[in-house]
Amino acid sequence: MKLITHNMLTSKCLKGVMTGYPLAINATDIKVTEVDFNPEFITRVIPKLDWEVLWAAANSIGHGEGLPKTLEPKYEENEDLLKKLHRVLLEVEVEEGNLTCPESGRQFPISKGIPNMLLTEAEVQ
Amino acid sequence: MWRRYLMWFAHEHLDFRHAEMQSIISLFNIPVKFIEQPSIRKPYWIVELPSEDYVKKIASRSVLVKNCIELWSTAKTESQLHANLKNSLKNSTGTWVTGENGQGDASDTHLCPKELIEACCSPKNSFKIEVETFCKHYTLKEKVQKIESFEYLPLEGPVKLNKPDITLAYLEFYGDDPNNVPEQPYDLFFGKWIVDGQRDLIQYHSLKKRHFIGNTSMDAQLSLLMANQAQVKTGDIVLDPFVGSGSLLVSAAHFGAYVWGSDIDFMMLHGRTRPSRVGQKMRAKEESVRGNMRQYKTESSYLDVLVSDFSLPLWKQGFKFDAIITDPPYGVREPTEKIGIERDNYKLSEQHLVNHIPAKVEYGLQQLYGDLLNFAATHLEVGRRLVCWYPLVREEYQEDQLPSHPCLSLVANSEQVLSKLTARRLLTYEKVRDDGTGQTLETNGGSHNFREKYFAMGEMTRRERKERKSEEMAAYALYKMAAKRDVT
Ligand SMILES: C[S@@+](CC[C@H](N)C(=O)[O-])C[C@H]1O[C@@H](n2cnc3c(N)ncnc32)[C@H](O)[C@@H]1O
């Protein structure tokens, strides 16, 4: 699971959970894969991000270095920032671990890089 | 000067042609003048475009266009075609001279500006002439004779069959009825080949060579068509919420999209279902949606896949995709399901929980399409598209019974016939406005109940089924014949 995915994901599927966001990450295995750098794409994605959530998530898994706590205007001209973001959003991946719902504490496993957001029969009753 | 083009189409998925072309034309904002009203019974369009760039843009996307020809002349008879071409050589008006804008009655005149031909005549330009006939077959010898009839063209360059500088095309149309082929063609065309469409991509993306496929993987041509219907372009963010083996993401990524997928089937996303390929015993290690994208060198636009039940919310509020492209389950080859259990007081022991694959209850098609349209209404950017298949019993089809939503407008609706009785329709919805009211608007999930009807039809006797099968095979053979074309 990439952090761009984490930034968009909720546990709203759970009964009684209102926002289910952000999910806490507990990673036991992280890998970094190289992905082609596309500054236009990163620039387009920035307005869709919750910056604080990204910053906290990156730091919680030890990849927050160099990421500013707040986003300055004119980010599209800041190549260093776009590169850093590219790495954090698309190259760092949680292979194994889990995601925790901030409201209910329910955990969702991540295995082989794929989060499992399914509920049990009892939970959807 | 606007240029006149002949766009020659594959004789396949006829009901999708107009939709695909419209999607591409509006994606690139291309002004098109129709010189002849397009007809599904003809494998071509005659159009005018402001420049060659535009025809190349169309061809860069279309999987139904075979090739585009700069049209020099057209006529209803062979002798008139030659007369027209000869007169074109003298046409120094700098524009097309045609029967339709001269006198009121449409005479068979069609002369291109002579500059178009002259531009190809220099001794430096090697060339060849290709012959294509629709609905009639000719031997090589006959084709060579046809080519020789153009001797009078002042082409000074050498003939070169392999990669010449200029390819000229001569096309004959013998109608679309393989049982009733006339002696002489109905329409004849001559011009300069400009560009091919994307038919080669169909082979390149063929499921036969795909690493990871499932029982319901979408074939390459239709997957590419769907990406065109969705007007996918570089840098778009695309979702398939019933992703399966990811065929639709493969084609979206080909056109430059970044892709997310989700599916309820844990084993599928982990490449652990039984292999779908005949003769294959075990899934290979790299079998996954991601593996497929690696195969086509688009892994850089893979975002993630998630195991998730579409009937429940997943994405954060306010997050919007540029396109949603999907083939939901129809409940025939794979069940339409969501997590649930019909027993009361159901409880799972703790240790059971970790690797538990939950039981599923039926997810009715109406509810599913209702959820899908609602989802698109909230999670699509305004002006962007949802493209999805919708299964039907053909005789039950009524357009006003299709799924609908006040924020979505149905912009295309193409039928693919599956059997005499059943079909599926590719529905393209454009989001026309945001659901600003904050309250859920009433969605109509459509009221064709495919699953029930499909199984009710399953009641037919073996004999009926056998008869239908041979009927279908006969129809297929006819269709093959009609599609037959030859290029020398
Ligand atoms: C027609 S298949 C899609 C095939 C896909 N286009 C491909 O190329 O492989 C439908 C998919 O929907 C999934 N599905 C069924 N019910 C679902 C649900 N409630 N939520 C999410 N996915 C579901 C099935 O597991 C199946 O993979």
pLDDT over 70 at B212, yes or no: yes
Query: Looking at the domain assignment, is residue B480 inside a domain?
Result: no
Pick the residue of B233, B283, B304, B346 with the most A CBs within 10 A to test the interface with A by mutation. Answer: B304
Taking only Cα atoms into account, the Rg of chain A, rounded to an integer number of angstroms, comes to 15
Mean per-residue pLDDT over chain A, rounded: 96
Give residue B100's pLDDT band: very low, low, confident or very high (50, 70, 90).
low
Asked if residue B212 has its Cβ within 6 Å of ligand 1, the reply is no
**Residue B261 shares a structural domain with residue B376:** yes
Closest CA to B314 of B292, B338, B331: B338
pLDDT over 70 at B130, yes or no: yes
Give residue A89's pLDDT band: very low, low, confident or very high (50, 70, 90).
very high
Number of structural domains in chain B: 2
**Residue B75 shares a structural domain with residue B216:** no
Give the integer Cα–Cα distance in Å for B74 and B35: 12
pLDDT of B102: 44
Is A48 an interface residue toward B (CB < 8 Å)? Answer: yes
The Å distance, Cα B328 to ligand 1 centre, comes to 6
> CATH code at B88?
3.30.2130.30
**Residue B187 shares a structural domain with residue B149:** yes
Residue of B463 and B288 predicted with greater confidence: B288
Among the listed ranges A39-43, B422-426, B432-436, B462-466, which one has the minimum average pLDDT value?
B462-466
Q: How many helices (H) and strands (E) does chain B have?
A: 14, 19
The answer to whether the CB of B294 falls within 8 A of the CB of B285 is no
pLDDT of B352: 46
**Residue B219 shares a structural domain with residue B364:** yes
**Residue B128 shares a structural domain with residue B227:** no
Give residue B483's pLDDT band: very low, low, confident or very high (50, 70, 90).
very low
pTM of the model: 0.90
Chain A, window 64-93: residues with a beta carbon less than 8 angstroms from a chain B beta carbon: 90
**Residue B255 shares a structural domain with residue B209:** yes
**Residue B173 shares a structural domain with residue B213:** no
B341 contacts on A by Cβ (under 8 Å)? 121-122, 125
Residue of B262 and B420 predicted with greater confidence: B262
Give the integer Cα–Cα distance in Å for B182 and B239: 49
Query: Looking at the domain assignment, is residue B257 inside a domain?
Result: yes
Give the integer Cα–Cα distance in Å for A6 and A110: 11
pLDDT of B277: 80
pLDDT tens for each residue of B233-267: 999 999 999 999 999 999 999 999 999 999 999 99
Question: For chain A, first and last CA: distance in Å?
Answer: 29
Please judge whether A38 and B235 are an interchain contact, meaning their C-beta atoms are less than 8 angstroms apart: yes
The answer to whether the CB of B235 falls within 8 A of the CB of B278 is no
Asked if residue B269 has its Cβ within 6 Å of ligand 1, the reply is no
Query: Looking at the domain assignment, is residue B184 inside a domain?
Result: yes
**Residue B53 shares a structural domain with residue B158:** yes
**Residue B94 shares a structural domain with residue B171:** yes
Taking only Cα atoms into account, the Rg of chain B, rounded to an integer number of angstroms, comes to 26
Closest CA to A57 of A105, A14, A100: A100
pLDDT over 50 at B105, yes or no: no
Give the integer Cα–Cα distance in Å for B71 and B48: 10
Determine the CATH number of domain A3-112: 2.20.25.10
Please judge whether A35 and B299 are an interchain contact, meaning their C-beta atoms are less than 8 angstroms apart: yes
**Of B164, B197, B230, which residue is a domain's last?**
B197
Nearest CA to ligand 1 atom 26: B244
Structure tokens that stand for B479 in this block: 């269709």
Give the integer Cα–Cα distance in Å for B237 and A41: 9
Nearest CA to ligand 1 atom 8: B217
pLDDT tens for each residue of B77-92: 999 999 999 999 999 9
Asked if residue B430 has its Cβ within 6 Å of ligand 1, the reply is no
Query: Looking at the domain assignment, is residue B308 inside a domain?
Result: yes
Give residue B344's pLDDT band: very low, low, confident or very high (50, 70, 90).
very low
- Boundaries of domain holding B390: 202-448
Pocket test for ligand 1, best of B263, B296, B339, B418 (most atoms within 8 A of CB): B263
Mean per-residue pLDDT over chain B, rounded: 87
Asked if residue B329 has its Cβ within 6 Å of ligand 1, the reply is yes
**Residue B156 shares a structural domain with residue B233:** no
Asked if residue B264 has its Cβ within 6 Å of ligand 1, the reply is yes
pLDDT of B289: 95
Is A19 an interface residue toward B (CB < 8 Å)? Answer: yes
pLDDT over 90 at B131, yes or no: yes
Question: What is the mean pLDDT of the segment spanning B389-412?
Answer: 93
Quote the ipTM score. 0.98
